[in-house]
Amino acid sequence: MLHFARWKQAVILGVCLLGVVLCLPNLMPRSAFPSWLEPRQISLGLDLRGGSYLLLEVDLNTVVRERLESAVDGVRGKLRTANIRYVNLGADAQNRRMGFRVLDTAQAGAAAAALRELAEPVTLPTGQNVPDIEVTTAPDGTVTATLSEAGLRAKASAAVEQSIEIIRRRVDETGVAEALIARQGQSRILVTLPGVEDPNRIKDLLGRTARMTFHLVDESANLAGNPPPGVMFLPSERPGERVAVRRNVAVDGKNLTNARAGQDSRTGEWVVNFTFDGTGTRRFADITRANVGRPFAIVLDDKVISAPVIREPITGGQGQISGSFTVRTANDLAVLLRAGALPAPLTIVEERTVGPELGADAIRAGMISLAVGTLFVFLYMGFAYGILGWFANIALAFNILLLMAGLSVLGATLTLPGIAGIVLTLGTALDANILINERIREEVKNGRSPINALEAGYTKASGTILDSNLTNLIAMACLYGFGSGPVKGFAVTVAIGTIVQMWTATVLTRLFASWWYRRTRPKELPVFQRPGLSLLDRLRRPLFRIFPDGTRIPFMRGAKMGLIVSALLSSISVAIAFHPGLEKGIDFKGGVEMEIRTPGPGDISVLRGAVGGLGLGDATLLQFGDPATFALRLPAQGDEGGVQRAVTAVREALEKAAPGTRILRVEAVGNRVSDELFLGGLMALGLSFLAMLIYIWIRFEWQFGIAAITTLILDATKTIGFMVLFGIEFNLTTVAAILTIIGFSANDKVVVFDRMRENLRKFKTMPLEQLVDLSINETMNRSLGTSMTLLLSALPLALFGGDTLSGFAWVMVVGIVISAGSSVFIAAPIVLFTGRNRLRMPDAAAQGQAEATAPR
């Protein structure tokens, strides 16, 4: 209804005012707020402000191995105490078990009981406590302990949580502000480091386990042979040297309370001074008191960094680590020791680094795209729909404010794909207003009074608006569920914008129309141009129509040809998608991409030679923009660690070849992560098709569901064909574009289908072919209008959005054009051919000729 009670008006205006208030904190720095008030602000993503994104994976094999080796050591002592003789005691980490065979099978039960005593309790979700190892015996006296699934999950969870805490300490020690450290999945940790241009030092700090232990050196061991029982050979800091140390840990580094870099007062060399807690002090004093004159090895991550001779008992709980330290390496080691040892090694499986220069460029490109897109869309709506279009523009401004308010409340991180989502929201947000305005125009044309036409326009369009926007939300839900990183931000931004625009289009613009109508009481609505009007009156009315009114174009005469051409184009697209094939981006095939900038115009042959000599595979180096900027791509390396070794090697080689070279951007993705991202992208596409099929099937007849899903698949294949022809990379960003196109295309089909369903009830005997043509002609202005607003918002992204978004934007532009045509020449013909004998009975055609030609 156009009547709004005062309290309703107050609520609507209050929501708009709240949106403005929630956006205000984003205009002020955090330092402007008192310490007791935590502002809810939108954070800039790393691609906008610069920084590093690291995805670390905990080596669970090490966790399993250490648990089993602990059981081996424990059971060895228990069997010795119980005088049980045994052979073949050892651990098999790959199969998660350890075992041995007792020589006297009668003692197998006692041996199994001794092993069960070493089990650690694990609490299940039900609250029940179970042992982490399962002990079994065999008739030949073999006793086996297997780490249970519950035990593995508990160990993995504990290792990841402990690693997160230690990583947080290490990062805090480096002084990086606003770092985010969070768990991702079962065994991975996400670390984002804003403002860090060169993450090498932090990667070194995070990649080292930093487990320090103290062992007595076994001077009697023969280093040329195999290590005797209870002894292990470890590499020394000196290249090529090994040291024989006792396996038993004399003092553990976990008993350290402090570690600081300093200089030796006698030699001036850099050392690390450490202090033990009470337990460590007593243990250290006992060991040094009993072993004066013997070398005592300090072991860090299975490498002997120092093996000084104990000159006298050390009872003060303090010591010193010396070696070939520089001021930086000494400080780094002190940081590691203070933060504590990781429970297992960490591997960097994905890295994305953006320098602050590129971040500033991205912000500028995003703002230009947003400004140009806003201008284009505002002008189009104002000139195409007159005063009702300007009402929609005001509502769109509040739409953006409420969208930003929602992101602020969520504490969201705005990335470049997020800016793209805001820009595209400009186009999709006006879809509902176009539906309403076109419906109002039809009601006026059918002779309704101004108040009734306004009321009918909002009422009759509401169902279509809900259906069409839900398809878009389905696509964004699939993208969020299976996307990664910034692509999830894009999905959240578009989803919030879609929800908000349903409110602003159906409630806020209705309030504006109500105020305008009560103030002016017009005799007719300004939806048509009339001769003899003043310039001001003409500007209040639509200045142009994108498609003529009252057309009777027989689109279905070309139904068969449309389907044949579409099937042919899609078949060719599928064929070229396999050969020559889609150009997969780094997200989906792994590898390394780097953008580098030399101090002056770079010699590309020198840079290629420096990188080519590293043996990292087929490296591609191209000039990128100005003469001092280059893009480098390396293929996927053999393992996850190989990717990081390749990044480090390239940095060093480029610095030698062109001193002063800066790394502007790094993207490094390991093989396993790329496979997971690729599978997630395909699942997002597949599930979006399935979800839309189910939704349209439920909301409409099955013929409409089949037509919609077939058309969406054909639209997607043609879009992929375009990507192959023009060499656009297939990555997470273009998957987001394809899903957005699928949502828009389904939106467009729903509007046409809704009009068909309405006309089926209205013209019960009209031949189906004429009814389909009628429905298409009636909704053509709406379909083309929405396509135009989306194009006007996507084109600035393609032209000004920069290289990161150009592929996304051009895929959007082409997809919009394909979707607009497919509603007429694919979806409608499929409904016609599948519903000819079901949506209309055969004998209805003969009865419907008069009605089909009757005035409407």
Quickly tell me which residue has 């409340």 as its tokens.
409
| Contact in structure between 392 and 509 (CB atoms under 8 Å) | yes
Task: Check: CB of residue 741 under 8 Å from CB of residue 815.
Answer: yes
The burial of 422, by beta-carbon neighbours within 10 Å (0-12 exposed, 13-18 middle, 19 or more buried), is given as buried
Closest to 152 measured CA to CA, from 256, 63, 271: 63
How does the average pLDDT of the chain come out, rounded?
87
Q: Can you tell me the distance from the alpha carbon of 733 to that of 681, in angstroms, rounded to the nearest whole number?
A: 10
For residues 512 and 2, what is the distance between their CA atoms, to the nearest angstrom? Answer: 10
Residue 1: per-residue pLDDT = 54
Q: What six digits make up the tokens of 782?
A: 């709406």
What's the CA gap between 304 and 298, in Å, rounded? 6
Q: What is the pLDDT of residue 185?
A: 83
Mean pLDDT across the stretch 679-701?
84
How do residues 799-834 score in pLDDT, each as one tens digit?
888 777 888 889 999 999 999 999 999 999 999 999
- What ranges make up the beta strands (E) of 377-466? 413-414
Residue 849: predicted pLDDT: 47
**In degrees rounded to 5, what are phi and psi of residue 773?**
-60, -45
Beta-carbon-side half-sphere exposure of residue 788 (alpha carbons within 13 Å): 18
Q: Is the pLDDT of residue 351 over 70?
A: yes
Average pLDDT over residues 602-618: 89
pLDDT digits (tens, 9 = 90+) for 751-782: 899 899 889 988 988 899 999 999 999 999 98
For residues 621-643, give the mean pLDDT.
Answer: 83
3-state helix vs strand vs coil in the chain, percent to 5 = 60, 15, 25
State the pLDDT at residue 854.
44
Is the separation of the CB atoms in 223 and 233 below 8 Å? yes
Residue 127 has pLDDT above 90, yes or no: no
Mean pLDDT on 201-227: 86
Q: Determine contact, residues 424/791, Cβ cutoff 8 Å.
A: no
| Alpha carbon distance 435, 540 (integer Å) | 19
785 to each of 46, 465, 603, how far by Cα in Å? 36, 15, 50
Question: 1: which residues sit within 8 A by CB, 6+ positions away?
Answer: 455
Residues 460-483 as b or e (16 or more Cβ within 10 Å = b): bbbebbebbbbbbbbbbbbbbebb
- Distance from chain centroid for Cα 774: 44
Residue 299 has pLDDT above 60, yes or no: yes
Residue 189 belongs to what H/E stretch? strand 188-194
- d(CA 137, CA 816) in angstroms, rounded, equals 67
Burial status of residue 5 (CB atoms within 10 A of its CB: 0-12, 13-18, 19 or more): exposed
pLDDT digits (tens, 9 = 90+) for 42-73: 888 887 888 888 899 998 888 899 889 889 98
Extract the tokens encoding 402.
């409420």
Contact 752, 707 (CB under 8 A): no
DSSP strand E in 338-382: where?
A: 346-354
**What's the pLDDT score for residue 850?**
44
Token pair recorded at residue 805: 């978004």
| CA pair distance 504, 395, nearest whole angstrom | 6
Select from 786, 814, 784, 819 the least CA-distant residue to 798.
Answer: 814
Q: What is the pTM of this model?
A: 0.77
- Pull the structure tokens for residue 5: 């009670």
- What gap in Å lies between CA 614 and CA 488, rounded to an integer? 36
833-856 pLDDT, tens digit each? 998 877 765 554 445 444 444 444
- Least trusted range by pLDDT, from 34-48, 179-193, 436-450: 34-48
Q: 10 Å Cβ neighbour count for 114? A: 20
Asked if residues 344 and 760 have their Cβ atoms less than 8 Å apart, the reply is: no
Across 690-714, b (16+ Cβ under 10 Å) vs e yields ebbbebbbebbbebbbbbbbbbbeb
Order of strands across the sheet with 296-300?
A: 251-252, 212-216, 296-300, 303-306
Lowest mean pLDDT among 15-19, 733-737, 739-743, 838-842: 838-842
Q: Which of 196-210, 338-352, 709-723 has the highest mean pLDDT?
A: 709-723
Is the confidence at residue 76, as pLDDT, over 80? yes
Strand 413-414 versus strand 43-44 pairing type: parallel
For the cut 90, the answer to whether the pLDDT of residue 12 exceeds it is yes
Helix (H) or strand (E) holding 88: strand 86-92
Looking at residues 704-716, what average pLDDT do you find?
A: 91
Question: What is the arithmetic mean of pLDDT over 432-456?
Answer: 90
d(CA 528, CA 537): 11
Phi, psi of 189 (to 5 degrees): -130, 130
User: How many CA atoms lie within 13 Å of 338's alpha carbon, on the beta-carbon side?
Assistant: 20
Identify the pLDDT of residue 841.
57
Is the pLDDT score of 493 beyond 70?
yes
Beta bridge partners of 346: 58
pLDDT at 137 over 70: yes
Contact (Cβ atoms closer than 8 angstroms) between residue 823 and residue 786: no
* 713 vs 432: CA distance, rounded Å: 25
pLDDT tens per residue, range 502-557? 999 889 999 999 999 999 988 889 888 777 777 778 878 888 888 888 889 999 99
Strands 242-246, 231-235: pairing kind:
antiparallel
Tens digits of residue pLDDT in 414-433: 887 888 888 878 777 888 89
